[in-house]
Amino acid sequence: MKIAVCIKRVPDSETRVKIATDGKSLDEAGVKFVLNPYDEFAVEEALRRKEQAGSGEVVVVCLGPAAAQETIRTALAMGADRGVLLQADKIPTDPFESAKVIAAELKGSSWDLVLFGRMAIDDYHHQVGPLVAELVDLPCVSAVSHVEIAGTTGVAEREIEGGIEVVDFSLPAVLTTDKGLNEPRYPALKGIMAAKKKPLDVKPVQLGRGALEIVALKPPPERKEGKIVGEGPAAVGELVRLLREEAKVL
Amino acid sequence: MAAKFQGVDFYQVDGLLSEEERAIRDTVREWVDDNLIPIIGEAYVAGKFPKQLIPGMAELGLFGANLPEAYGCAGLNNIAYGLIMQELERGDSGVRSFASVQGALVMYPIYTFGSEDQKKNWLPQMASGKVIGCFGLTEPDYGSNPAAMITVAKETKDGWVLNGAKMWITNGSTAQAAIIWAKTGALDQPDSIRGFIVPTDSKGFSAKDQKGKLSLRASDTSELVLQDVHVPKDAILPKSGGLKSPLMCLTAARYGIAWGAVGAAMACYDEAVSYAKQRVMFGKPIGGFQLQQARLADMLTEITKAQLLCVQLGRLKDEGKSTPQQVSLAKRNNVSMATDVAREARRLLGANGILAEYQALRHLANLESVYTYEGTHDIHTLILGQEITGLNAFN
């Protein structure tokens, strides 16, 4: 089974991010970058599929800056076989431009499965996986939280509002992975040491400007200090009045 | 869920580490956050070593991580090994002690003094956590003076017979195999000390939990009694000889302790900073008062110095240039430093600081043991004194 896993280098969700002086990008100084958490599900799923099949190859593809080699090596440490860095100076703000570059790389080989995290936690677009599927002309199931594959067909489950949607698909296919699909493994220490010896191709890519532009980034408004209305049953009337008249939530 | 530990790095010490070293540190850090931190308070209060963590630690490759891959180990350098100890002790000194004993006091002597057969037989089983080991050097009446030990091994036709007692043995009741140090000659011949691999189910071998500990409560500490324990000829570690052999093991373990102490100190500092920013008294966060700021400034300063000490010591060890005296300096300084940091953190936390829900007092109580074991603080003072002056002040 030959599987491509497309990953992204994103700021750690625990990092306190600062907006750069241009007002529309992040100040990367002192920011820790990690493998996008949703992509960890994709890497884990690929490794399990390969282990189940008994043979195959898991190739990690990442569009990103030179420093994303470290992110690729995280996936290699988990057990992926080789990596490809599509090296760009800047990640485009337009997901379609990213999708075009990744699709061009994927078209060079044939794949049984192409996996993405369902979204990147930095821009929340949810777009690149489905866009790539369209560009490489493969079926796509997004936000997969459970999957069974037998031969050249699969059944995927997606958590939707109030229920589970079950989708049949045929391989090869593009899946984007959601929480609940699996429990990603910790890279074993031996794996971390082995990762540097695994092949990692670096391919410079040219990205189009795209049609989207970020105009401004703003932090969410600071939460106002809470107000204690009173204590005990006596305070209920006043609380209800404030919720209705001031907060306007009732 | 509590925020994930972000580390303490005021001097960009991370920049002195390689990408692999950082990746190993981060992996163990995450594992500790996910698996150890959530259960450790309860295990400590219950006085139980959290055995359920053993398979996970083995799977990561934490046991004997600086020994070669040929024996099923991770083959890491000493910096990476130190970082593992740091992160484990950031969780709890007892859990770090478990890994220290398994790696530096059991696997290391088998690797260093063992025959090829012994290495092939024991090391892979120990790396995978299938066999847990303990290290028996200290005796009820001989702690800082192991040369005077009275445990003996007499050679017989088909092997050895061991008699004696060992005390303060970490993993003693958990272990399947014990490295026992015993005199093969007369009691006044410390040169006759040799190491033996003794299966703990041998007839005449017994381990008894040491009760009533107020420190290292999440660790198994036992007294071992060996009464006419017969072991085969090949139980002896053939390349061990004299007190120097167990002391080499202690140097290996102390190296890890120097790193571990930094982990415990970082945990306490991190907790103190977050508490100081949140706890409001007299109308503002207590971090805004000078006394607490002085505490935090001292903690950060001492942690930073200890971090740099560790990195340089690790680089020297990797180059084969470190001396036991340098290891003594690091163990002595860092554990004393961590004990001070834990105490100040405990005090900064006020009454909350005495609860198991917080870490500071657990670390402080643990560190009082670490201050005393593997060469007491005082003994390391004398080791350095002798190194400086050339004069022996031990007796």
Min Cα distance B295 → chain A (Å) is: 25
The pLDDT > 90 percentage for chain B reads: 98
Say if the Cβ atoms of B60 and A73 lie within 8 Å.
no
Q: Is the pLDDT of residue A213 over 90?
A: no
- The answer to whether the peptide bond before residue B246 is cis (omega within 30 degrees of 0) is no
Q: Are residues A84 and A12 in the same domain?
A: yes
Q: Which of B4, B19, B60 sits opposite A186 (nearest CB)?
A: B60
Q: Are residues A111 and A39 in the same domain?
A: yes
Q: Are residues A98 and A165 in the same domain?
A: yes
Q: Are residues A14 and A127 in the same domain?
A: yes
Best of B12, B17, B20 to disrupt the A interface by mutation (most A CBs within 10 Å)?
Answer: B20
- Polymer length of chain A: 250
Domain regions of chain B by residue span = 13-127, 133-235, 244-389
- Catalytic residue positions of B, numbered: 374
Compute the C-alpha angle B255/B258/B261, nearest 5°: 145
Min Cα distance B59 → chain A (Å) is: 7
**Chain A residues touching chain B at CB-CB below 8 Å:** 14, 32, 70, 73-74, 77, 186-190, 192-193, 195-196
Say if the Cβ atoms of B60 and A14 lie within 8 Å.
no
Best of A33, A189, A197 to disrupt the B interface by mutation (most B CBs within 10 Å)?
Answer: A189
Query: B65 contacts in A (CB within 8 Å)?
Result: 189
Q: Is residue A209 part of a domain?
A: no
Q: Which of B4, B20, B30 sits opposite A186 (nearest CB)?
A: B30
Q: Is residue A213 part of a domain?
A: no
Q: Are residues A156 and A190 in the same domain?
A: yes
Q: Are B329 and B337 in contact (CB under 8 A)?
A: no
Q: Which domain holds residue A239?
A: 220-250
Per residue in B234-255, pLDDT (tens digit) is: 999 999 999 999 999 999 999 9
Q: Is residue A46 part of a domain?
A: yes
Q: Is B2 on the interface with A (CB under 8 A)?
A: no
Query: A186 contacts in B (CB within 8 Å)?
Result: 27, 30-31, 59-60
Of the pLDDT bands very low, low, confident and very high (cuts 50, 70, 90), residue B2 is low
Residue type, A210: G
Say if the Cβ atoms of B74 and A190 lie within 8 Å.
yes
Which B residues, 53 through 112, put their C-beta within 8 Å of a C-beta on chain A? 59-62, 65, 69, 74-76, 80, 84
Query: A188 contacts in B (CB within 8 Å)?
Result: 59-61, 74
Q: Is the pLDDT of residue A78 over 50?
A: yes
Question: What is the model's pLDDT at position A231?
Answer: 86
Q: Is the pLDDT of residue B162 over 50?
A: yes
Number of domains in chain A: 2
Say if the Cβ atoms of B3 and A14 lie within 8 Å.
yes
Tell me the ipTM for this assembly: 0.85
Nearest residue of A to residue B67, measured between CA atoms: A190
Q: Is the pLDDT of residue A141 over 50?
A: yes
Question: What is the model's pLDDT at position A31?
Answer: 87
Q: Which of B4, B19, B61 sits opposite A189 (nearest CB)?
A: B61
Say if the Cβ atoms of B6 and A192 lie within 8 Å.
no
Q: Which CATH class name applies to B133-235? A: mainly beta
DSSP characters over B5-23? P----TT-GGGGS-HHHHH
Min Cα distance B4 → chain A (Å) is: 7
Per residue in B73-126, pLDDT (tens digit) is: 999 999 999 999 999 999 999 999 999 999 999 999 999 999 999 999 999 999
Q: Which CATH class name applies to B13-127? A: mainly alpha
- The C-alpha atoms of residue B383 and residue B49 are separated, in whole angstroms, by 32
Q: Is B244-389 in the same CATH topology as B13-127?
A: no
Q: Are residues A8 and A75 in the same domain?
A: yes
Nearest residue of B to residue A185, measured between CA atoms: B60
Min Cα distance B11 → chain A (Å) is: 12
Say if the Cβ atoms of B19 and A193 lie within 8 Å.
no
What's the rounded mean pLDDT across residues A93-120? 95
- Polymer length of chain B: 395
Q: Which of A32, A70, A189 sits opposite B60 (nearest CB)?
A: A189
From residue A22, how far is each of A19, A93, B181, B309, B380 by CA, in Å? Answer: 8, 15, 67, 40, 55
Q: Are A144 and A157 in contact (CB under 8 A)?
A: yes
Residue that is written with structure tokens 């859990």 in the block: B95
Q: Is residue A215 part of a domain?
A: no
Say if the Cβ atoms of B23 and A196 lie within 8 Å.
no
Q: Are residues A235 and A124 in the same domain?
A: no
Q: Is residue A88 part of a domain?
A: yes
Per residue in B303-315, pLDDT (tens digit) is: 999 999 999 999 9
Q: Is residue A211 part of a domain?
A: no
Q: Is residue A123 part of a domain?
A: yes
Q: Are residues A33 and A87 in the same domain?
A: yes
Of the pLDDT bands very low, low, confident and very high (cuts 50, 70, 90), residue B37 is very high
Of the pLDDT bands very low, low, confident and very high (cuts 50, 70, 90), residue A17 is confident
- The C-alpha atoms of residue B318 and residue B75 are separated, in whole angstroms, by 12
Q: Are residues A150 and A247 in the same domain?
A: no
Q: Are residues A14 and A134 in the same domain?
A: yes
CB within 8 Å of B106: residues ≥ 6 apart: B126, B133, B134, B135, B177, B179
Say which CATH number the domain at A198 has. 3.40.50.620
Say if the Cβ atoms of A189 and B24 lie within 8 Å.
yes
Q: Is B19 on the interface with A (CB under 8 A)?
A: yes
Q: Is B4 on the interface with A (CB under 8 A)?
A: yes
Question: What is the model's pLDDT at position B1?
Answer: 38
Per residue in A142-197, pLDDT (tens digit) is: 999 999 999 899 999 999 999 999 999 999 999 999 999 999 999 999 999 999 99
What's the rounded mean pLDDT across residues B201-220? 96
Say if the Cβ atoms of B80 and A189 lie within 8 Å.
yes
Q: Is the pLDDT of residue A92 over 80?
A: no
Per residue in B175-184, pLDDT (tens digit) is: 999 999 999 9
Per residue in A216-239, pLDDT (tens digit) is: 999 888 888 788 888 889 899 989
Query: B80 contacts in A (CB within 8 Å)?
Result: 189
Phi, psi of A41 (to 5 degrees): -65, -40
- The C-alpha atoms of residue B47 and residue B342 are separated, in whole angstroms, by 20
Q: Are residues A236 and A182 in the same domain?
A: no
Compute the C-alpha angle B374/B376/B379, nearest 5°: 110
- Number of CB pairs < 8 Å for A and B? 48
Element (H, E) at B264: helix B244-278
Q: Are residues A150 and A238 in the same domain?
A: no
Q: Which of A14, A77, A190 sits opposite B23 (nearest CB)?
A: A77
Q: Is residue A10 part of a domain?
A: yes
User: Among candidates B277, B246, B258, which has minimal Cα distance to B317?
Assistant: B258
Select B244-389's CATH number: 3.60.20.10, 3.40.50.300, 1.10.3720.10, 1.20.140.10. Answer: 1.20.140.10
Phi, psi of B97 (to 5 degrees): -60, -40
Say if the Cβ atoms of A188 and B3 lie within 8 Å.
no
Say if the Cβ atoms of A189 and B4 lie within 8 Å.
no
- The C-alpha atoms of residue B160 and residue B235 are separated, in whole angstroms, by 8
What's the rounded mean pLDDT across residues B320-339? 98
